[in-house]
Structure 1
Amino acid sequence: MYTNLSEIQKQYFYNLCGETHQSSETKGRFKTSKPYNNEYYKFSPWGFEYFFDVEKGYLICILSHHMTDNRIYGWDYRGNEISDYIISEYFKGKKVA
């Protein structure tokens, strides 16, 4: 069982939304004006959602905007990308925040 994001997952989290993950929350949703950690990104704010699977150590993040398609990313505890198949399983079971 995993209790919090790994250091590499925290870095990916920051790179994607421009905010640091400092809490012990395993899921959340907020607006960001710095998608991809870029404060000059057009059409801000963007929506950001995340879910951390404490059993498997997976971090799944969703970056969304009403003018574009959603972008979904996932990493295991070591920082390896999670396959699209594994990510899609979370949406089938509606496990995401």
Structure 2
Amino acid sequence: MSETGSRQLLEVARVGCTDEYLDHLTYKRLADPRIAKNKRFSEILAGLSATEYRHYEFWRRYVPEFQVKASSLRVDLIVLLRVLFGLTFAVRYLDRH
């Protein structure tokens, strides 16, 4: 594989790491019982958080030295969307961004 191809693959892995880790943090915050009043929703969101963390671990194998810079602003924005517009809106927003 060419050096350019290798660099592109490493960039894909870095983007995957960042995206999956931020999704993990977001679902984890949304699963908080103070935010997700419904216990069943909280359990589902915790499961989604665990799934996203496994995805993060997958990508992490390809770039072990990479450090994810978590954006708490993004997580806070989605939690705010959850409070203002509901869980469905927040989760759909998360899936699209």
TM-score normalised per structure 2? 0.30
Larger proportion of strand? 1
**TM-score, length-normalised on structure 1?**
0.30
- Higher relative contact order, chain-length normalized (CA < 8 Å, sep 6+): 2
